[in-house]
Structure 1
Amino acid sequence: MGIYSRSEDRDAHIYASETLETLLGGLWIAKGITSANLYSMMDIFCSFSKTFELQLHGGSLIKRDDSQLQPGCYFVVTDGYVTVTDEVPLLRAILPKSPKPIKPFRNAIRQRDQGCVLSGRRALMKGSWTGFDAAHIFPLAYEGYWNDCGFSDLITAPPATKSDSAINSPQNGILLSASEHHFFAAYDVSINPDDNYKVVCFSPNTVPYGLAGRHLERKFLDDPLRPPDELLRWHFRQAVLVNMKGDGEPFFDIFSES
């Protein structure tokens, strides 16, 4: 199993002050990541004692607007102090292989989504789902954490089989193409429900798939059985912590032979 640093591909680096001595984090800037997005993501992996602004090193203060974020070194401007959260994300790849999705979960998601939620690519052959996976948003391997945190309370559509846990409700899943499923599980891509359900990419490996900056389709969002925003928000928070906090979490390539 190969282990790689997520920080190697970053083209934006964020520091605690103008001296650029204390690294807070950073990211690879995908299409659609705005200045306002950077501010909101900073609030996920940092805590501030007072209001703050960001400034491009050698440049001006960054407005909280929808302009495309530019590469460079950024630093915090504040009269208070900033600390990096000690919150640890729930990584998937380092766990034993998760159980396969149960059949009712898979079938319900296929029927609801009809194609890849991230890319919009449809399953064109009726009854054939080759290349599409029913993916859990909150991973099955962490069912104990799911129960401890009361995530079952978010579910309004229980699993078809009463004996199945609420973690197997179709509301905790989306249909994804196989490649998109790998990206989603590794937190290389996520959905920001607080920015009009925008698809946010954190890895240049996603570029050929044209996902960055897309928005989820209205038909999916209007479905009463779709995933609740709280679960999408949980996944997005994990993606920010994994990719942006400090040097980023290591990427475990479970398909590597070395």
Structure 2
Amino acid sequence: MSVANRSVGRDVHVYDAKNPDTALGGLILTNGVTNANFYSMVEIFCIFDSSFFLRDEGGRTIQRDDSPLHPSKYYILTNGSITINNEGYLARAVSVASGTRLASFRDAVRERDKGCVVTGKVAVNAYKNNWVGFQAAHVFPLAYEQQWKDGNYSRWITIPAADGGTINSVQNGILLRSDIHARFDTYDFSIDPDDGYKIICFNLDGEGIAGKHLDQRFLGDPNRPVDQLLRWHFRQAVFANMRGAGEPIFECDFPPGSDMMGEIMSSPGAAGRMEFELFSRLAASNKENVIHS
């Protein structure tokens, strides 16, 4: 089975100036990405023990400012060492067979957001409880609830969930258009809470969301997702899309009669995908009052 390759289409490439023949990572450049954003993202997937700066392939030093980043090869110059960050990446996939969410979580997110937080599209038929085209998404994936517990992510939650533990707090949720939800889950884009909650797209943007900022009404709501979880998602998106060749993008559309397990096992990143599917199903079997998507 062919698997989408995140590195295809990159027009920004990152190298160690001391080893300019081997790329450390890269980026598909979209609207809104600045030089300062780029420095910050390089600092996520690379670890430095000394100060560094970037030069483009024309030999120009790149300032850490709000100027737009341009397509180029960029070289890291430092007197110290560069280590690729091996921080864990939690694989996610979109699967109508495995997605389960608690009704209380869904309802709390709907009540707060009333539309897609990213595109600004309002759920105009919500007054008659028609939410077709909108889904409540977990920022930190429900399938990895054990990792949530092990990492003590609940320390950031101040509003308890009505059901299902702290991972189902409204502070770990965001209402999205259904197609935008799929892109959020696969780290096609993320929200940078350290740059005015700007939307950073890591793939070509057909929706016009790249470079936009979340609405101030949403940001002013005390029940909104906490910055720490948005920052976690943003770091995961950088690892998925920029570190090395990037992480596999999993196939999720399996026609009836197809060998789903065989296709998964023969694809790159099979272990991570199987872990996600297993945890998704365990989470579903252990929950009461769930809704199936």
TM bucket, shorter chain = over 0.9
AA partner of residue 239 (structure 2):
L
Matches within 5 A, 1:91-102: 91-93=91-93, 98-102=98-102
1:97 offset after TM fit, Å?
Answer: 5.3
Q: Which amino acid aligns with 1:160?
A: A
Give the structure 2 partner of residue 170 of structure 1: 170
- Write out per-residue CA displacement over residues 152-196 of structure 1, whole angstroms, 9 at most, x where no aligned residue: 1111111123xx211111111000001100100000011000000
Deviations 1:72-92 (CA, angstroms, capped at 9, x unpaired): 111111111211111231011
Structure 1, unpaired ranges of 5+: none
The correspondence of residues 207-218 of structure 1 with structure 2, limited to 5 A, is 207-218=205-216
Give RMSD over aligned pairs: 1.7
Q: Residue 230 of structure 2 corresponds to which residue in structure 1?
A: 232
Query: Residue 94 of structure 2 contacts residue 185 of structure 2 at CA under 8 Å; is this kept in 1?
Result: no
Match of 2:191 in 1: 191
SS at match of 1:20: strand
- Equivalent positions of 1:126-165 (< 5 A) are 126=127, 127-161=129-163, 164-165=164-165
Give percent identity, aligned residues only: 49
How many residue pairs get matched? 254
Q: Distance in 2 between matches of 1:95 and 1:256?
A: 9
Is the CA contact (8 Å cut-off) linking 1:2 and 1:254 kept in structure 2?
no
TM-superposition CA deviations, 1:15-43 (whole Å, max 9, x none): 01165212110000110000000100111
Q: CA deviation at 1:253?
A: 2.1
TM-score for the superposition, normalised by structure 1 = 0.94
3-state SS of 2:206 partner: helix
- Large movers: runs of 4+ above 6 Å: none
> 1:143 is matched by which residue type in structure 2?
E
* Offset of residue 96 of structure 1: 10
In structure 1, give the amino acid aligned to 2:227.
D
| Whole-Å separation in 1 of the counterparts to 2:74 and 2:186 | 26
Amino acid at match of 2:160: P
Q: Aligned partners of 2:145, 2:135: CA distance in 1, in Å?
A: 20
SS at match of 1:3: coil
CA distance in 2, matches of 1:105, 1:55: 46
Residues 2 and 252 of structure 1 are in contact (CA less than 8 Å); yes or no, is this contact kept in structure 2? no
Aligned AA (1:247)? A
- Tell me how far apart the structure 2 counterparts of residues 234 and 165 of structure 1 sit (CA, whole Å): 19
1:142–1:228 Cα change, 3 Å? same
Amino acid of the residue matched to residue 49 of structure 2? S
Distance change >3 Å, CA 2–CA 132, structure 1 → 2: farther
- Distance in 2, matches of 1:45 and 1:133, equals 30
Offset, 1:94: 8.8
Residue number among 216, 232, 251 corresponding to 2:249 in the alignment: 251
TM-fit CA distance, 1:98: 4.1
If the length of structure 2 is used for normalisation, what is the TM-score? 0.83
Residue of structure 2 equivalent to 1:116: 116
Out of 87-96 and 136-145, give the one that drifted further: 87-96
